[in-house]
Amino acid sequence: MNSVRAANRRPRRVSRPRPVQQQQQERNNAAAAAGDRDDDVPADMVAEESGPGAQNSPYQLRRKTLLPKRTACPTKSSMEGASTSATENFGHRAKRARVSGKSQDLSAPAEQYLQEKLPDEVVLKIFSYLLEQDLCRAACVCKRFSELANDPILWKRLYMEVFEYTRPMMHPEPGKFYQINPEEYEHPNPWKESFQQLYKGAHVKPGFAEHFYSNPARYKGRENMLYYDTIEDALGGVQEAHFDGLIFVHSGIYTDEWIYIESPITMIGAAPGKVADKVIIENTRDSTFVFMEGSEDAYVGYMTIRFNPDDKSAQHHNAHHCLEITVNCSPIIDHCIIRSTCTVGSAVCVSGQGACPTIKHCNISDCENVGLYITDHAQGIYEDNEISNNALAGIWVKNHGNPIIRRNHIHHGRDVGVFTFDHGMGYFESCNIHRNRIAGFEVKAYANPTVVRCEIHHGQTGGIYVHEKGRGQFIENKIYANNFAGVWITSNSDPTIRGNAIFNGNQGGVYIFGDGRGLIEGNDIYGNALAGIQIRTNSCPIVRHNKIHDGQHGGIYVHEKGQGVIEENEVYSNTLAGVWVTTGSTPVLRRNRIHSGKQVGVYFYDNGHGVLEDNDIYNHMYSGVQIRTGSNPKIRRNKIWGGQNGGILVYNSGLGFIEDNEIFDNAMAGVWIKTDSNPTLRRNKIHDGRDGGICIFNGGRGLLEENDIFRNAQAGVLISTNSHPVLRKNRIFDGFAAGIEITNHATATLEGNQIFNNRFGGLFLASGVNVTMKDNKIMNNQDAIEKAVSRGQCLYKISSYTSYPMHDFYRCHTCNTTDRNAICVNCIKKCHQGHDVEFIRHDRFFCDCGAGTLSNPCTLAGEPTHDTDTLYDSAPPIESNTLQHN
């Protein structure tokens, strides 16, 4: 396309300055005329060039000829080192010899007066009429002249006359320009230094070229400066032998010029104030700038570049841009303002193998299409640009484009911030991407960018959106305050999300759905309004080494057949469950630390399945693990402790295989099984609980096999209210109450269990309970209840109000006790002797007489302990209210 366009484009109009030979001939003619007039100059006003006077005086005033030789531009070699020998740079007419001895004697005082006595103000006034090369020559006269001729004010006036800049523009090396504040610059005269660096160049200054070439005497010494009316003419002047490719485009609006750059030229705006605002290059028909092969080291800077077609439809301008950079060229675009009103295409298009520009400090904003488009294996470096308020993406990267994009500010786009798709790549570092209407960064269709240390925030939808087999590496970014999820991964995409901070989102942190995958590793995910990580609809990511904490909702939410490997994460201090698993999901949770939650640690419900193994689950306000409504997880080799509502709660038809876990130091039962639940517990150690070991009630079932249940404050196993578990080959020992208690019409199958060294006794069966027993060993229990009864003690002495020893209990009609009051047999015999009493049943209770809750004091217990309630049974567990928040 570019080659066809180049071949068919109109011939460039070249209007060059008059040839140097022609200018020289005009000057020779002028000099001949001046020579005739010079004969009339008095002898005493002319300094001799030879003779005794010239040798005796260190300095002679000389009349310059009107025929100067062509001088070099005032670079460091030509301006500061201007020759003190006038004959090296200037031809001179022969002067008449002085004839007056008096005038010869006066030469030294005149010379001394000029060099030493003439006031600085007068010398500076004289110097203010000189041009730059004359100032350099004056500086060679003496030290005082050198100091005065280098006055910054003199050079600022000359500098602004030529270049218009109100601050010095430094050009220390090819392709590098920057403006400075003179007061802060280390060089004493930055105006002169910049003049030296910029001196040899062409100037595009409409209307000035004719004036410049019509007044050669006025601009004598500036023969190396070239002036043109159009940019096209200046580009044609590249062929001039003395022109090194530096073009200054002065203030103005340049419209519909054909700017095709095929050589390493340098083009820079030249204007006062904000330079780029004053130099505007615009096209309404074709791409404003086209860089083609041969422009490897070209430079364009400090100007506004606009494409502003009258007809903005796609039919006419689909391939037109503000900047078009094609194959095998690497220009530098610097400090430019780039605008396009065309509704299709892009403002900047970089395409083709070998297209590798450097675009820096530019403003690509308010375009009605894509801001920056990099495609077809193009590369390039894009640094410190402002890209905002574009109708489509701020940046597109497509078809193996592989740019390096650093420190760009990409914001307030009317679409996505950055869009990589169709195998697009790229390295994005330290960019600030925010407040775009769609995602801050979108990856699609095998695109594979690397995004490092960027801030992606305040997106009106999400932060990062990876879909349709997108990939990418997102490393050490800050992703926060987006309206939807911080990161979305869907439709078979497989990115790496590593080392990011993902926080304070208005919804979730990372959302993986629709067969999404990905590696989510080493991130800090916190403070999000919904789950820190959400996995659903057959998605299967790897989630490891993350911190997921202080969420306003849950930590990790796996639902709708979600999968995934979730390992070695720390999940803590979330408002709801640390991990939810529901609706057919089957994740593997391994070696995580799930702790300090405000509700449940891990919550399986509504057919949630999966594997929970080798985790530390502790210090939750509710249970460490809850299983309900058909859920059937495998829970093995975990440590579950410190739950304020127990270790594991299985209820509402929950299932599960609970094997080889250590469950200890929970405030309530180590394991609760209730309401038609039927789990399998094998080889667990359930110990040191602040309540019972295992509590089974309200129709609970289950197989308890080969567990060690010991040192629990209440019964090792409590079976109640129509429950019917199977206990096989368990060891229940060292309990601070009973080994096994069965009450409230429950039944059980007890086979091959060992029950020993429990304080109250081994096995207690309440009235009306029938169990199936086989090969159990009940031995060496302390039998504290029987001993207390035999010694005539009140049972409250051994239980207080924290334990419920099983024995006969009575009520006293004389003392008007209710069904909620229980009196032990010894208090009936001693404290209620002769009263109307009634045997209630053999069951669990503590003695209300000994507790001091009856009207008459107990004579066996001593000082009464006034409890606030007379509980009959252990407190029920709190069920999670997580579902209320879904």
CA distances, 855 to each of 682, 814, 815, 817 (Å): 49, 11, 7, 9
Does the pLDDT at position 159 exceed 80?
Answer: yes
What is the pLDDT at residue 60? Answer: 37
Q: What own/partner pairs with CB < 8 Å and gap ≥ 24 does 123-128 have?
A: 123/148, 124/148, 124/151, 124/153, 124/154, 127/151, 127/154, 128/154, 128/157
Predicted pLDDT of residue 216: 87
pLDDT at residue 242 greater than cutoff 60: no
107, pLDDT greater than 90: no
Of 16-20, 247-251, 531-535, the poorest mean pLDDT is in 16-20
pLDDT class for 553, splitting at 50, 70, 90?
very high
Residue 439's pLDDT band, with cuts at 50, 70 and 90, is very high
Above 80 in pLDDT, residue 80? Answer: no
Does 580 have pLDDT greater than 70?
A: yes
- Provide the pLDDT for residue 108: 64
Residue 818 has pLDDT above 90, yes or no: no
Query: What is d(CA 610, CA 355) in angstroms, rounded to the nearest whole number?
Result: 51
- The overall longest dimension of the chain from CA atoms, in Å, is 163
pLDDT at 15 over 80: no
Rounded to whole angstroms, the Cα distance separating 766 from 756 reads: 20
Task: Measure the CA–CA gap between 62 and 86, rounded to whole angstroms.
Answer: 9
Give the model's pLDDT for residue 36: 43
Mean pLDDT of 388-395: 96
pLDDT above 70 (res 14): no
- Looking at residue 846, what is its pLDDT? 86
Q: What is the pLDDT of residue 315?
A: 56
Q: Give, as one character, the DSSP assignment of residue 238.
A: G
Task: Give the model's pLDDT for residue 797.
Answer: 86
DSSP reduced 3-state for 149? helix
More confident site: 311 or 293:
293
Q: Give the closest residue to 668 by CA, choosing from 708, 703, 695.
A: 695
Alpha helix locations (H) across 301-341?
A: 314-317
381 DSSP 8-state letter? E
pLDDT, the chain, mean: 86
Tell me: the pLDDT tens digits for 492-545?
Answer: 999 999 999 999 999 999 999 999 999 999 999 999 999 999 999 999 999 999
Maximum average pLDDT range among 9-18, 256-265, 658-667: 658-667
SS3 144: helix
pLDDT at 587 (0 to 100): 98
Reported as a pLDDT band with limits 50, 70 and 90, residue 249 is very high
Q: What is the Cα–Cα distance from 363 to 304, expressed in whole angstroms?
A: 9
Note the pLDDT of residue 318.
Answer: 62
Amino acid 102: pLDDT: 40
Query: Judging by beta carbons within 10 Å of its beta carbon (0-12, 13-18, 19+), is residue 779 exposed, middle or buried?
Result: exposed
560 neighbors 585 (Cβ within 8 angstroms): yes
Sign of CA dihedral 551, 554, 558, 564: positive
For the segment 698-726, what is each residue's pLDDT rounded down to a tens digit? 999 999 999 999 999 999 999 999 999 99
pLDDT in tens, 587-646: 999 999 999 999 999 999 999 999 999 999 999 999 999 999 999 999 999 999 999 999
Span 847-883, pLDDT tens digits: 999 888 888 889 887 654 444 333 323 334 555 554 4
Residue 586 has pLDDT above 60, yes or no: yes
Among the listed ranges 413-427, 544-558, 649-663, 798-812, which one has the minimum average pLDDT value?
A: 798-812
The pair phi, psi for residue 761, each rounded to 5°, is 155, 180
Cα 699 to chain centroid, rounded: 53
- Say if pTM beats, i.e. exceeds, 0.85: no
Partner residues linked to 644 by β-bridges = 646
Question: Is the distance from CB of 732 to CB of 759 less than 8 angstroms?
Answer: no
As a whole number, mean pLDDT of residues 292-313 equals 89
Place of tokens 């597109």: 396
Domains recognised in the chain with CATH numbers: 116-199 (1.20.1280.50), 200-250 (no CATH), 272-392 (no CATH), 806-850 (no CATH)
Checking if the pLDDT of 552 tops 90, the result is yes
Q: What is the pLDDT of residue 856?
A: 85
Give the H/E segment covering residue 53: helix 52-56
Give the separation between CA 495 and CA 473, rounded to whole angstroms.
6
Tokens of 595: 């702790």
**Closest to 810 measured CA to CA, from 824, 794, 829, 793:** 824
At residue 345, the pLDDT reads 85
Evaluate if residue 786 carries a pLDDT over 80.
Answer: yes
The set of residues, in sequence order, having a beta carbon less than 8 Å from that of 37 and lying 6+ positions away, is none
Q: Which of 125-134, 667-676, 776-785 has the lowest mean pLDDT?
A: 125-134
Q: Is 638 left (phi over 0), alpha (psi -120 to 50) or beta?
A: beta
CA angle 586, 591, 560 (to 5 degrees): 20
Q: Phi and psi for 578 in degrees, rounded to 5?
A: -65, -45
